[in-house]
Amino acid sequence: MWSSDLEERIREVLAQEAEAARQGLEGLEERVMRAIAQRVARPGLWRRLKERWGLGFSPRWALAGAASLALVLGFALGRLFAPSPLPPSAQAGTLFAVVNPQAHSVAVMGDFSAWEPIPLSDPDGDGIWTAVLDLPPGRYEYAFLVDGKWVGQDPQADEYVRSFGEYASVRYVGTGGGA
């Protein structure tokens, strides 16, 4: 009795699986042909971009693109190959950065600016304020002004000095001994 129940149950399951497979195969050929047809008809990336964003390829744009590429390439190659009296760190500029998403204004000041503030910028609003200064090799004391408040200890500094009761940071530029 027990054995015949089991056999019946197995038959039911097999029948269900066969039905499911049959449903899966139903219209398979049609689906495959449709997919192939879609793939052939799908436009290339450039064409899709053009259609979506309406990018034309007028002679002016072609000229502008070529000019931009030439400028950037020329600038990069010039920087790479131009002979220069300064070491690479001075060539590339010295980066000053402050991470402070709450700040409304950030500036750096130091020996390189006669302690006049030079604004840092955060164009994308991610709280990372930066300025790149073209400093000749040497030792520079500096501090940041964050919303007008003196911040003398830059984590990127080579050392710190303390005078007038406040810290100032120090960078060695192009000496091989620091930044």
Query: Between the CA atoms of 96, 98, 103 and 105, what dihedral angle is there, to the nearest 10 degrees?
Result: 0
93 scored as a contact of another protein (CB under 8 A): yes
Site string for another protein, 151-170 (x = CB under 8 A): -------xx-xxxxxx-x--
Instruction: Return the biggest CA–CA distance within the chain.
Output: 103
Q: Rule CB under 8 A: which of 113-142 touch another protein?
A: 113-116, 118-119, 131-134, 137-139, 141
CA distance 160 to 162: 7
DSSP letters of 14-26? HHHHHHHHHHHHT
50 is a site residue for another protein (CB under 8 A)? no
Residue from 33, 61, 127, 147 touching another protein (CB under 8 A): that is 61
Choices 10-18, 26-34, 36-44, 68-76 (CB under 8 A): range interacting with another protein: 68-76
Burial of 175 (0-12, 13-18, 19+ CB in 10 A): middle
In a 3-state reduction of DSSP, which class is residue 105? coil
Among 6, 27, 75, 105, binds another protein (CB under 8 A): 75
Nearer CB in complex with another protein: 44/177:
177
**Residue 135 CB coordination number (10 Å):** 21
Q: Name the residues that contact another protein, by CB under 8 A.
A: 60-61, 63-65, 67-68, 71-72, 75-76, 87, 93, 109-116, 118-119, 131-134, 137-139, 141, 150, 158-159, 161-166, 168, 172, 174-178
